[in-house]
Amino acid sequence: MECMKIEELLQKLIRFNTTNPPGNEAECIMYIHGLLKEAGIDSLILGDKGERLNLIARLEGNGSKPPLLMYGHVDVVTAADQVWQHPPFEGVIEDGYVWGRGALDMKGAVAMMISAVLRAKSEGFILSGDIVLCIVCDEENDGIYGAKYIVDNYPDLFKNIKYAIGEIGGFTMPIGGKRFYPIMVAEKQRCAIRATVKGQGGHGSMPVKDGAMAKLGELLARLNRSRLPVHITSSAKMMLQALSSNLGFPTNIVLKSLLNPVLTDKVLDLLGDKGRIFDPVLHNTVNATIVRGGEKINVIPGEIRLDFDGRILPGFAPEDIMDELSKLIGRDIELQILSYDRGPDRIDMGMFEILGSILRAGDREAIPIPFIVSGVTDARFFSKLGIQTYGFTPMILKNDIDFSRLIHSADERIPVEALSFGAESIYKLIVGYDG
C-alpha cells in the first residue's frame, strides 16, 4: 500500500460504481476498510442497510488537543444520458488527468484524505489530537443512510470535536489574474416548498380564462423576471471584502458595489454569467423543479402543484423565504413547506487562518478567502453536534477547469497534480494540527 500512488488509489475508487440511487457503496467502503486495516488502523463499519455502509476510523494522538474530523462521501450522481470521452467508471489516466465520475465530487478528495492518513500513520508522528476519518454513503440523496444516520445514532463517536474538513473548497478560482482559494465556512439551508395553484376547471373543449394553467404561467414568468430580496450576510460580506481587497480597479469597485443593496441586482445584471457565483450568496433562492396537475387530455385541471427547491441564507428561516416568495408570486397562491434542513446558527472562523497558511505554503500565489456554498453538504448534519466544517479539499486547477461546472457533468476529471497537492496539504494539516 505504501507504494500506491494517489492517482492509482483514485482509479480504484472510481471503478466502484456507487451511483446514487441506489448507491451500493458497501464494496467501496469495505475496500477502504481493508486499506486502513493493512496499515494498522482499525475502523468501524456502520449502517442499517446492507449495501449502504459508512466507515469511521481514528488515528490516535496524545490527547492534548481535541480531535479533528475529516469526512467525505463515496456515492456519486448518475452518468446516464451523458456523452463522455472516457467511460465514467474506468478511472482512465490521460493527459495528466484522472477521468471518471466522482473525480471531483468527491472520490478525489476521499483519496487525498486516505493518503494523508496512511502517510501520517506510516511515519509515526505523535499527533496532538486524534484524527477521525469518516467516509459515508448517501450524500447525494439526503444523507439518510450516511451522515444523518451516524450523527443521529452514534453522536458519542464525535465527542469533543470542534472542527472538521469536508467539501467544497480549497480549489483554485482565478479572478482578475489572481489565484483565489475559496474555503467554505458556511452553506445555505435547503427548504422544499410546494405552491398550489387553483383555478376554474372544466371540459377540454371549452375555453377557460385565468385558470390554473394560466396562473401557473404567470407565476413562472414572475420568477423568471425577478429575484428575491437582497441580503448582505456576514459570510457574504467577508467573501466579497476579501476578493475586492486583493483586486485592482475596476474589479474591486464592482465587487464592493455588490455589498450595496441598492446596487446589488443592477451589478449582477451587468456581470451576467460572470456574476453567477455571487448571485446565490446574496439572495434566498427558489427554483421550480416539479409540476403535477392534470390527468386526462380532455379535462382542464382545477388545481396544479408546483414544487420549489428553496435555498435559504444563514441566519434566515423558512418563514422568511415563504414570505419573500409569496410577495413575488402573489398572496393568493397557497404555499407549504415540505421539508427543511437547518444549518449552523453561527460561523466559527477559528481554524480558517491555519488552512489558509497551508494553501499559501503550497502555492505562493494563493489567496485564501472565506466562501459560502449555495448548495448543501453533510456539514448540516455535523453542525448539529456543534462541529464547524471548513470546505478544504485543496486542488490546483488550471484556468480551463471550472470546478462548479464540471462536477455532476460529463468528462468529470481531476489533474494528477491537484491530487498530489491536496494530499500533501491535508497531511500538513494532520501533523501540524494543534486544536
Using one digit for the tens of pLDDT, what is the confidence trace for 129-164? 999 999 999 999 989 999 999 999 999 999 999 999
- Taking the CA atoms of 165, 168, 171 and 174 in sequence, report the sign of the dihedral they define: negative
Give the separation between CA 426 and CA 430, rounded to whole angstroms. 6
Parse the chain into domains and list their residue ranges. 6-168+377-432, 187-341
pLDDT digits (tens, 9 = 90+) for 202-221: 888 888 888 999 999 999 99
Whether the Cβ atoms of residue 227 and residue 283 lie closer than 8 Å to each other: yes
In the chain, % of residues over pLDDT 90:
85
Band of pLDDT at residue 43, cut at 50, 70 and 90:
very high
Which architecture characterizes domain 6-168+377-432 according to CATH? Answer: 3-Layer(aba) Sandwich (3.40)
User: Does the pLDDT of residue 120 top 90, yes or no?
Assistant: yes
Give the separation between CA 245 and CA 428, rounded to whole angstroms. 28
DSSP structure string for 140-173:
GGTTTTTHHHHHHH-GGGGTT--EEEESSB-B-E
Of the spans 125-129, 157-161, 329-333, which averages the highest pLDDT? 157-161
User: Does the pLDDT of residue 387 top 80, yes or no?
Assistant: yes
pLDDT digits (tens, 9 = 90+) for 49-64: 889 999 999 999 999 9
User: Does the pLDDT of residue 4 top 60, yes or no?
Assistant: yes
Question: For 279, which DSSP code?
Answer: G
Residue count of the chain, please give it.
435
pLDDT digits (tens, 9 = 90+) for 95-114: 999 999 999 999 999 999 99
Residue position matching grid coordinates 488509489: 9
pTM, rounded to two decimals: 0.91
Band of pLDDT at residue 186, cut at 50, 70 and 90:
very high
For residues 74-80, average pLDDT: 96
Look at residue 3 in the predicted model and tell me its pLDDT.
Answer: 63
User: Does the pLDDT of residue 118 top 90, yes or no?
Assistant: yes
Residue position matching grid coordinates 472565506: 370
User: Does the pLDDT of residue 2 top 60, yes or no?
Assistant: no
SS3 76: strand
Give the separation between CA 75 and CA 22, rounded to whole angstroms. 9
Look at residue 96 in the predicted model and tell me its pLDDT.
Answer: 94
Cβ-based burial of 177 (10 A; exposed 0-12, middle 13-18, buried ≥19): exposed
Band of pLDDT at residue 398, cut at 50, 70 and 90:
confident
Give the separation between CA 56 and CA 196, rounded to whole angstroms. 44
Q: What is the dihedral of CA 154, 372, 70, 12, to 10 degrees?
A: 110
Which architecture characterizes domain 187-341 according to CATH? Answer: 2-Layer Sandwich (3.30)
SS3 19: strand
Cell readout for 299 is 379535462
